[in-house]
Every structure is written in C-alpha cells, then in structure tokens.
Amino acid sequence: MLALSIEKFMKYIFSFLTICLSLQLSAQIHLPGFFSDNMVLQRNAEVNFWGWSKRGGTVRIIPSWSKDTVTTKVSGYGRFDVKLKTPEAGGPHSITILSGSESKVVNNVLIGEVWLCSGQSNMQWNSNNKLQEMLDELPRAHNPKVRLLQISNIAATSPQINVFDSWKECNPASAKGFSAIGYFIGKQLAKELDIPIGIINSSWGGTPAELWTPAKYIENDPEFLKNAKAFKPSASKPHEYATLWNAMIYPLVGYKIAGAFWYQGESNVDTYSSYSRLFSTMIKSWREAWGYEFPFYYVQIAPYDYKSKPEEQKGALLREQQVQTLVVPKTGMAVITDLVPDVKNIHPTRKREVAERLAQLALAEVYGRSMVDYKSPIYKSHKVEGNKIIVEFDYLEGSLQVKGNKITDLYIADDSRNFVPADYKIEKNKLIVFSKQIKNPVAVRFGFTDTSMPNLFNSKGLPVSPFRTDNW
C-alpha cells in the first residue's frame, strides 16, 4: 500500500468526519466544538450561535439570561444560525437547544470578554516546554473566571467547519500545555476588569504568516505566492499556504471576539521585504471574515542571532516591517528588546512580561484605562541641524530615560555610509545625536542589528523600538 502524505491523510480524515456528521444530522443536534460547557461569550453584544440539525426542522434556542426564545429553521444544508443578545458580564448561565424531540444543554457559560491568541512557537510556548514561569504558576492556576480554549494543531487544504476542541475552566490541568502568554493575558485582564475572560489559543511553532492567511490573498499576489511556494515540507509542521487559516482560524469565524493578540515573524525573516504587506493583508483578511475591525495587538520579534550577513540583518529588517504595520488601524505593538536573557535562544523565557505589555495595550485602548506611555516609543521623524540629528518619536508623552551610563547601539553616519558610535543628548522627548567624527551627519541607527538589546526607554520603562533613519 502506498504511504499517504500528511496533507492527503488529513483531507481524508476531514471528509470522513463530514460524512459521519451528515449521517447523524437527521436525528441529533450538533454544535461546533467551541460552543461547549465552560465557554465565554462576548458581553453586551449580539453574538452568532450556530450548529447542525435535521434539515428543514425547527430549532429553538433558550439562553438562561433571557426571557425570550430564539426560533429558527434549519437550512437544506442541515445548518441553523441565530443571533443571541448577551447581557453584562456574569454567569454562570446555560443555553438550551431544542429540535423536535431532541435537546442539548450547554452549561457553565460565562459572559465576559473573549480574545484570540495566535502565531508561532513564542505564542505557543508553555509548561510542556519546561518554561519555568509557567511551571511555577501551575499550582496556583485555579481561576474559574478565566476560561481556556486550546485549538489542536491541525492543517487542512480547504476551509473547515469545526474543531475538535472545547472550553475548559482555568486550573492546573487546563493551564498545563496552554500558551503562557495567553494564560498571563487572561489572568491580568480578569484581575484588572473583574469580569470573566475567555482566551482562545490557536498557534503553531515554526509557521510563517502565509499559512495563516486565506488562499485568495496569497494567490492574487505574485510575491506572496512565490515566497509561499518556496516553503519546504517538514515532518513537524505544514508548509502549504492558507492551511492553518483553513483549519485553525476559519472554523472560529463568527465567534464574537474582543480582539486578537499575535506573536509571529521569526519564520518570515528570509522574506522580510514583503512582510509588512503580508502581515497587513492577513490582519485585514481576518477582520473581513469576522465582519468588523477588531483590535489586533502583536509582539515585535525579540533579538536573536539569525546568523545574518553583516550587511543584511534579517531580524532587524523584519522588526522594521512590523513597525510599518502600525499604519493599519487599531493595531499596537509590544517591544521586547529588554526581555531576552540569551540571544542564542529563539524562545525568550520572560513570557509574563510580554503578556503584561500586550494586556496594557488592550486595557488602555479597548477598556479605556487612563495610562501614560503605555506604548513603546516608535521613530517618527528626524531633522539635521548643523552637525546634529534631532530624532522625534510617536507614542511618547514623558521623557526618554537611559538605563546605564550611556545609550548602547546608537550610531551616526555621513554620506559615506560609514556608521560610527554616537554621542547624544536627551531633551525630554527628543534624542539629539552627534559625533566629533561626523561633521555633516546624514543618518542615525539605533539598535538596528539582529541581536541588539539597547537601553533607551520611556518614562514607564518600555524600550524604544529599534530604528534607522536611512534606507541603505
């Protein structure tokens, strides 16, 4: 018997399951895996609720928080869709689904805030990876206000309608193996907002962004398609574009979320030049699928030794592309150049602080918490005045501060393009850069290498994002 490829095998499995589901629909009510006991629904919203039942039949939905029964017809495809109005945060509640003589009850439902976490291994990293922060946290991970939905690592060559996973109450058993960043975000939001929080973790290590983007967007862009076709098969992960969108994101489309957190980019350093376009396209495609412009917050990749050539620092160039993505509305970026104990380890171990920076973005911009300098400063503009270059920043209300005796990884150059270590002055929110060796300066670079961990921060201790003023 010929061996099947992983992709073909998964396609046969999904086809088999679809056939089995069709055979059972005549007598039973079926819900997607994520409409399960322990789930969280978005508060004060009109949320989508759907499933499958006998074709042409009538389905009645009775949420315990409402006096109203929602009634709908099942389509010829065996699917029903309704909208449920959710109340203020609270619970637990139940949802009863009736179809003919059949009934199903979803119990222990909370109403609160739902966030989707996605990306590659740094989002996925957890206690099973011997991450000490999570190993220390597990014994005290009992938090009934936080619910966790772990999406299985499954890829598919066509869009899927279901997942094999269900919601769990947060406890040592469910937190074990769950995204550390996702867990700590959920813990912080639940504490700060004092409401239930649902965290969906849909991430897979070593995966480029093309795999998380719908096929039509890759196929309609020659550069995206060329890059995607260059991915090599692997025994540990899929390599075809759109396959993770199909199996790990598309089934969730319609499930009301407050927003998304994303940590990815390391697998795109070799194709950095188109990453901002690709990443922006991916964000827009997800929002288009959901039908609204939800907030999207992401992590700038950490310093790491990619073994780049001196003239081509791929990690630094990818980080620059991530900065450029900030032009997309309702996005924000956490900078973590100061959270890396070892640039030889592509998985920095300080995940709690990464989560705190992401959560701060949501608390300030989604939940209206009053905060100053909750974002890392981003290069805005510069001007040359005599032998000095004056640099200004976005997202900077207070003063710049240096941790140490002198700013590290700060360089200046004239039109020879020969960068030399720079001196500087700080005037509140401006950085004035100069050098005795450069009489006619043209450009400044700050932390612009793969492994730089510079020491310039805002008033709240958030690092300034690496930048360059040139395009050399």
Whether cis (ω within 30° of 0) applies to the bond prior to 92 is yes
Quote the pLDDT of residue 308: 77
Contact (Cβ atoms closer than 8 angstroms) between residue 466 and residue 446:
yes
pLDDT score of 25 more than 90 = no
Q: What are phi and psi of 447, to 5 degrees?
A: 60, 25
pTM of the model: 0.94
Query: Where is 446: in which H helix or E strand?
Result: strand 443-446
| 145 to 168, 198, 252, 386, 459: CA distances (angstroms) | 11, 8, 22, 59, 33
Quote the pLDDT of residue 10: 53
Beta-ladder partners of 93: 109
Quote the pLDDT of residue 4: 38
Strands 102-119 and 197-203: parallel
- What burial class does residue 233 get, using C-beta atoms within 10 Å of its C-beta: 0-12 exposed, 13-18 middle, 19+ buried? exposed
* Tens-place pLDDT, residues 75-115: 999 999 999 999 999 999 999 999 999 999 999 999 999 99
Quote the pLDDT of residue 61: 98
pLDDT score of 316 more than 70 = yes
- What lies within 8 Å, CB to CB, of 250 at 6+ separation is 159, 160, 214, 289
- What is the arithmetic mean of pLDDT over 138-148? 98
Q: How confident is the model at residue 398 (pLDDT cuts 50, 70, 90)?
A: very high
- What burial class does residue 147 get, using C-beta atoms within 10 Å of its C-beta: 0-12 exposed, 13-18 middle, 19+ buried? buried
Contact (Cβ atoms closer than 8 angstroms) between residue 360 and residue 324:
no
Quote the pLDDT of residue 3: 38
Domain boundaries, the chain: 26-106, 111-365, 380-468
The domains spanning 26-106 and 111-365 adopt the same CATH topology: no
Q: Which two tokens stand for residue 9?
A: 């095998």
Q: How confident is the model at residue 312 (pLDDT cuts 50, 70, 90)?
A: confident
The conformational region for residue 265 under phi > 0 = left, psi -120 to 50 = alpha, else beta, is left
Quote the pLDDT of residue 16: 44
Q: What are phi and psi of 362, to 5 degrees?
A: -65, -45
- What is the arithmetic mean of pLDDT over 146-156? 98
Smallest CA-to-CA distance from 465 within 348, 328, 296, 325 is with: 325
Quote the pLDDT of residue 9: 46
* Tens-place pLDDT, residues 225-238: 999 999 999 999 99
CA 385 remoteness from chain centre: 41
pLDDT score of 394 more than 70 = yes
Question: Count of CB atoms within 10 A of residue 376's CB?
Answer: 26
- What is the arithmetic mean of pLDDT over 443-447? 98
Quote the pLDDT of residue 304: 98
Q: How confident is the model at residue 13 (pLDDT cuts 50, 70, 90)?
A: low
| Furthest C-alpha separation in the chain | 86
Residue 38, CB-side half-sphere exposure with 13 Å CA sphere: 18
Quote the pLDDT of residue 1: 30
Q: Which CATH architecture has domain 111-365?
A: 3-Layer(aba) Sandwich (3.40)
Q: How confident is the model at residue 11 (pLDDT cuts 50, 70, 90)?
A: low
Q: Which two tokens stand for residue 472?
A: 């050399």
Q: How confident is the model at residue 12 (pLDDT cuts 50, 70, 90)?
A: very low
Q: Which CATH architecture has domain 26-106?
A: Sandwich (2.60)
Contact (Cβ atoms closer than 8 angstroms) between residue 306 and residue 269:
yes
Q: Which two tokens stand for residue 189?
A: 């939001």
